[in-house]
Amino acid sequence: MMALDLPPLFLARMAGLLGDEFPAFLASYQRPAVAGLRVNTLKISAVEFHRLSPFTLDPVPWCPSGFVVPEEEEPGKHPYHAAGLYYLQEPSAMAVAELLDPQPGEWILDLAAAPGGKATHIAARMQGRGLLVANEVHPQRVWELAQNLERWGARHVIITNESPGRLAGRWPAFFDAVLVDAPCSGEGMFRKSAAARREWSPQLVKGCAGRQLAILAQAARLVRPGGKLVYATCTFAPEENEGVVARFLQEHSEFELEEPKRAAGLAAGRPEWLVALENGPASGVLGRPAGSGLDATLQLARAVRLWPHLGPGEGHFIAVLRRHASESRASAVARPWRQPQVPGPVREAYRAFCAGHLTLDPGSQRLALVGSYLYALPGDDLTPDRPDLPDLSGLRFIHPGWWLGSMIGQRFEPSHALALGLRREDARRVLDLPASSPEVRAYLRGEMLSAPGEPGWVLVTVDGFPLGWGRRVAGRVKSRYPKGLRQI
């Protein structure tokens, strides 16, 4: 893409801000964007995947499980993608969860999680322990989030469809870490998105900064004392980055900006740009941001910027804010969640399925029935200060845990999410297909396969990694791969 495709006002502003660095920045837009692939360490290690991978992989310096991969190799069409062995994610975006640094056993909220890149990354880092609440306010995008987490095989996740304010009112001071991947003007995606270039304007930048500050204010209420609030954007605009963080710190003295570990390619924040904007419009393009909080700028160099001319990927900004631990902690749940009870016949139907088709009965100690859907709830590692899950009553949620399957009359039918959360050895009947075989493509298209053996549910795998369910009758396996996911 040539630099002339970029908005002239944007170029003028960046020239004024970057100075001698601007020619290298501009030259990056004459190179094609790169594609990223992040390995699902819930299912396979990065080292093992590198040995197995059919793709050309170059490491992403700030993400041990991340790689740059040529787009022409089409990793999104490979059966390994359908098996959830990796997520296709822009390389700079991988830095966000790495700096969040989620730990197994923590309780974490991704406040604007769709389509799921950062949520899947967090889930992998948590290694199935603790609780991840993945929230998305948009009623359609939340289903894309659910689909990606399902393919990822994440079991310890609650997916909600709520506003930040509603969650903050219900769960104050509750989470060890909260991620705000804020809606922004998208300047960092100009190399990849014609729509972002077309829709950009100084007014958009100003409007985004106001919305971002409002979202951060609600997110701050959700962080426990001693916890982290990570703010991220995919824009270069200091009004949306250092400016928003400076205003937030002015208004929230209980937080401070942390200095994260810096890998190669992770540059510092630019507090001097706020000074430039305060003293006058940079390059005559954008006016100064009112109340930008210059008294807070000393901390702003601790923020992280990623640039397309300094590393693989596009533009990103990340700030890690820590809430002071000295505050007293409020109780997050005013009342315990009255979890949907499971009738005895439903529990028995599920146990009968497990006994006949699995080598284990996942989630049997913490089951919940919502409508006809049966779930295994997170919380195997609950502690005395967190004796139960956050109260979901009255909130909009998509899944309150790992969706195991549905009750069809008196019969239990397993879900695709159950298959993708299992390992090959968890199933009694397995049909393993090589990734290069025509049969695996036929299965993903929903076609019948010839496979003699015992009748019943079969876990279909690719090179040992679950793809989904099949149903064997009379030596033939009918694909139960979801119709909405089938490949033509």
- The two tokens of residue 135 are 């929230």
Confidence of residue 341 (pLDDT cuts 50, 70, 90): confident
- Indicate which residue of 63, 184, 208, 234 is catalytic: 234
- The two tokens of residue 262 are 């810096």
Mean pLDDT of 13-25: 96
| Cβ contacts of 175 within 8 Å, gap of 6 or more | 107, 108, 109, 133, 222, 223, 224, 227
Rounded to the nearest angstrom, the gap between the alpha carbon of residue 190 and the centroid of all alpha carbons in its chain is: 21
Say how far apart CA 323 and CA 176 lie, in whole Å. 10
Q: Which pLDDT does position 383 carry in this prediction?
A: 75
Q: What is the pTM of this model?
A: 0.94
Nearest partner of 110 among 137, 130, 135, judged by Cα:
135
| pLDDT reading at 280 higher than 90 | no
Q: Considering the chain, what is the average pLDDT of its residues? A: 91
| pLDDT reading at 382 higher than 90 | no
Say how far apart CA 401 and CA 76 lie, in whole Å. 27
Q: Report all structural domains of the chain as residue ranges with CATH numbers, in order of start.
A: 3-323 (3.40.50.150), 424-488 (2.30.130.60)
Confidence of residue 338 (pLDDT cuts 50, 70, 90): confident
| pLDDT tens-digit map of 148-189 | 999 999 999 999 999 999 999 999 999 999 999 999 999 999
Q: Would you say the C-alpha torsion 295, 296, 302, 306 has a positive or negative sign?
A: negative
Does residue 354 have an active-site annotation?
Answer: no
Say how far apart CA 51 and CA 327 lie, in whole Å. 48
| pLDDT reading at 471 higher than 60 | yes
